[in-house]
A and B are shown apart, each in its own frame.
Chain A
Amino acid sequence: MIQESFTAGHTQIHRLDPRLKILFATLYSFIVALSEGFLPLFAALVLSFLLIGLARLNIREVTKRVVLVNGLIVLFWLVLPLTFEGEALFYLGPFAVTREGLNVSARITLKSNAILLVFITLVASTSIATLGYALNRLYIPEKLVYFFILTYRYMFVIEQEYQRLVKAAKIRGFHPGNNLHTYRTYAYLIGMLFVRASARAERVHNAMLCRGFKGKFYCLREFSFSRQDLIWSAFMAIAVIGLAFLEWVKISW
């Protein structure tokens, strides 16, 4: 299910304080998402590539994800230039291709890729467990953090349970088709999954009570903010301010 294929490295980026990574990725995403100018957007994309290079991530794995997202973006390129109101650049049969439509599509493409790459570099290079505890340290509500961590822990168990149920159906000759029997079988399967998940939730809660759980989670991990982190936070602050500046002065293209 979740491979966490980017967490294995030992680069500077991997060693950064996870709190810093989350904060920067979030801030950066907001700046990029709100930017309109092409200069800041291109600058952001270059920065994203730079970070990917520094983290020395597996290029094939990164490409797979980038291709997946850009597959969706192709749809925008097919629809927006034809439907966006504005000055017609040229005509495709009866349809007008507008300059504004092309601009919007290009912006979406730049923004999505820049944000995606930064999230892959900074957030996906941190293990989910560490992310959870870093969120906890960033004062994200405890309930949300533990919801996140427990979801991660039990997703695998629930997936196994799902696979068991599917196999049980298969070995008794179940072939999915477009008929009521198939829909009913899947409905039962999903229903059974919910029943088992809730029974498990109760057992897990009981097990927690038996180990002295009083409704409060304590965090074992201590994060330390190193000199390296300080240098990186300065760099990240400059990057964010720089992007905001490029957007703000609106150098026209």
Chain B
Amino acid sequence: MGENIMVIQLENVCFSYPNGASVLDSLQFKLRRGEKLGLIGPNGSGKTTFLHIIMGLLKPSSGTVRIFGKLVETEKDFRIVRQKVGFLFQNADDQLFSPTVLEDVAFGPLNLGKKPKEAHKMSLKILKDLNLEGFADRLTHKLSGGEKKLVALATVLVMHPEVLLLDEPTTGLDEDTSKRIIHILNSLNISCIIVSHEYDFLARTTDEIYSIQNGIIVYDGVSADLHSHYHRHSAGKAPHDHMGI
């Protein structure tokens, strides 16, 4: 019953930049509770734009955005959305702006109205859950790229989001950090949209993969199928042979 609750629904969403270039063209998208979707697409195809529209950071030129079944339009509507939808930015340096890790992780809970003591406790707990014990007093600008990413993930997860949007979470990370992120994502029981260039990463973290092209989102296939050979299923669901197997 609860499985079919629509978490995010975009209808006929169009978006073009001030210079007139159209990025999204009558895009349709649905995310149900518990679904984990991967989204793949070339540079400049509008993946980030798509996520920013869901978060209310960009306004679509036309079309509607519904989150948890409710139409969201104004900044006020989106403020409520942002308490339930976590967004991991592509560049962790953009996300971590406080001097120390603890202060950065506690920023979200404090904004949600938690008392400093409680925010402090929540932050330490999430750092422990992500195996980042001992990071609390480290300076954010002195962390390595991988550490920054993991801490950025902690700053989002500490707010206990119901949906998680990730923009290129593994870009520029080493194998080890990627594995840790995959492990964390797989242990979470929440809906996700993960934007990535890497089929392999999406295959290991999502159930289904979509691709964005020419301003619309199209279904690519079940992640597990794509996983077995790490390339795009150009034949789609039609029966086909794999040469050499």
* Chain A residues within 8 Å of B, Cβ to Cβ: 127-129, 132, 149-150, 152-154, 156-157, 200, 203-204, 206-214, 218-222
Contact = CB atoms under 8 A, between A and B. Distances in A.
Given A157-B141, A210-B55, A220 B97 contact: no
Contacts of A150: 97
A129 B86 CA distance: 26
B93 interface: yes
A221 to B, nearest CB: 8
Contacts of A213: 107, 111
A153 B107 CA distance: 15
A157 B93 contact: yes
B141 A211 contact: no
Contacts of A153: 97-99, 140-141
Nearest to A222: B116
Nearest to A156: B141
A208 to B, nearest CB: 7
Contacts of B86: 210
A149 B99 contact: yes
A180 B175 CA distance: 46
A65 to B, nearest CB: 22
A219 B99 CA distance: 12
B interface, by DSSP: helix, strand, loop or mixed?
A: helix
A209 B110 contact: no
A212 B93 contact: no
A220 B102 contact: yes
Contact of A220 (B82, B119, B141): B119
Interface of B: 52, 55, 57, 79, 82-83, 86-87, 89, 91, 93-95, 97-100, 102-103, 106-108, 110-112, 116, 119-120, 139-141, 155-156, 159
A221 B116 CA distance: 8
Nearest to A214: B111
Contacts of B95: 204, 207
Contacts of B103: 129, 220-221
5 contacts: A129-B98, A129-B100, A209-B57, A210-B57, A211-B108
A129 B103 CA distance: 10
B102 A214 contact: no
Given A129-B99, A153-B98, A214 B155 contact: no
Contacts of B98: 129, 149, 153
A2 to B, nearest CB: 10
Contacts of A128: 99
Contact of A152 (B82, B99, B120): B99
B54 to A, nearest CB: 10
Contacts of A200: 93-94
A203 B91 contact: yes
Given A156-B141, A220-B102, A220-B120, A211 B94 contact: no
A211 B111 contact: yes
Nearest to B94: A203
Given A129-B99, A129-B139, A132-B99, A214 B79 contact: yes
A110 to B, nearest CB: 35
B87 A210 contact: yes
Contacts of A208: 97, 107
Nearest to A146: B97
